[in-house]
Amino acid sequence: MEPTSWQRPGLRAALLYAVAAGLLGSLVSAVSRLELTRRAVPSGDLPDGPVIVVANHTSFADGVLLAIVGRRLGRSLRLMATGGVFRNGLVGPLARRLGFIPVLRGTGSAAGALDAAAVALGAGEAVGLFPEGRITRDPQHWPERSKTGAVRLALRTGAPVVPVAMVGAQQVVGKTGILARLLRNTVLRPRVAVAVGEPIDVRRLAGDSGDQPVDDATVRRVADEVMAVLVAQVAELRGEQAPHPCGVPEDALQG
């Protein structure tokens, strides 16, 4: 599937999404306690029309958890997921049917994922992504400094960005011992706390009037500002002060 070939899922796919979300929601409830502790969005749901949902990334379970959060907020998210998900013989076909968008990292067509996401947003969809681009490598599970893709997508489409912080997902599924942890979690269900922030007008932050392209320095600045909102939500849920307000930089991870 080429990243730029995104097509809006039809009615059957919508029904499939509802069934899959119900089944996965039951599974998640069996091994965790997913709690939306704060919703700053108006009326408690995600806005209608095109919207970009960004979340921190600590676990392989994050995609499923974010999709369930989206459903609880009234939207079926079209998640941007690594190409490995789509190469999986079981999960890949389902992801395609649900309108998920492959991100082929490290390839010449990786940027095409933003084209596909822009098409989805143009169709009025809600797109979900993890701006860090990978599971955080910080030992304390703090978010890393974000890539700029989400902001570039928002500038391109005008879609608002809604930050969603999730704390505790790494206790649901870790990097090793996945089966043993899931079995343990059926008895001792870990809590996953979720906070949903207010929609962010990225074009306003960038001072974008639409007259000329936004320069790379401004894109980077705005990406840090958006990430700072998400990191602050994570810190609030954890009851701690974030060591890096805009996300852990690469040099701090290496050090």
Per-residue pLDDT of the chain (255 residues; tens, 9 = 90+): 444 578 888 889 899 999 999 999 999 999 999 999 888 877 778 999 999 999 999 999 999 999 999 999 999 999 998 877 888 777 888 888 899 998 876 555 567 889 999 999 999 999 999 999 999 999 999 999 999 999 999 999 999 999 999 999 999 988 777 888 888 888 889 999 999 999 999 999 999 876 778 999 999 999 999 999 999 999 999 999 999 999 999 998 865
Residue 161's H or E segment, with its range, is strand 161-167
pLDDT of the residue at 3: 47
Whether residue 81 lies inside any domain: the answer is no
Beta strand ranges found along 27-158 (DSSP E) = 33-39, 51-55, 77-82, 101-103, 126-129
What is the value of pTM for the model shown? 0.92
The answer to whether 98 and 23 have CB atoms below 8 angstroms apart is: no
Report the alpha-carbon distance of residue 67 to residue 79 in Å, rounded: 8
Please report whether residue 69 resides in a domain.
yes
Q: State the residue for tokens 């013989």.
A: 89
Residue 174: the pLDDT is 81
pLDDT at 1: 44
3-class secondary-structure state, position 14 = helix
pLDDT at 29: 94
CA-to-CA distance for 187 and 141, rounded, in angstroms?
24
Cβ atoms 71, 120 nearer than 8 A: no
* Residue 155, token pair as written in the block: 């500038």
Q: Following DSSP, what letter does each residue of 96-120 receive, concatenated?
A: HHTT-EEE-TTSTTTTHHHHHHHHH
Strands 191-196 and 33-39: parallel
| Number of residues that make up the chain | 255
CA distances from 9 to 12, 17, 53 (A): 8, 10, 19
Tell me whether residue 100 is in a domain: no
Whether residue 243 is contained in a domain is answered as yes
Q: Is residue 199 within 8 Å of 160, Cβ to Cβ? A: yes
What is the per-residue pLDDT for 255? 52
Q: Let me know: does 81 contact 100? Beta carbons within 8 Å.
A: yes
Q: How many domains are contained in the chain?
A: 1
Q: Half-sphere exposure of residue 200, counting CA atoms within 13 Å on the CB side? A: 26
In 3D, which of 153, 164, 169, 168 has the Cα closest to residue 45?
Answer: 164
Range of the domain at 248: 9-74+124-254
Q: How far apart are CA 115 and CA 2, in angstroms?
A: 11
The verdict on residue 101 lying in a domain is: no
- Do the domain assignments include residue 200? yes
**How are beta strands 126-129 and 77-82 bridged, if at all?**
parallel
Q: Which residues lie closer than 8 Å to 127 by C-beta, 6 or more apart?
A: 50, 51, 52, 53, 77, 78, 79, 80, 101, 117, 120, 121, 153, 159
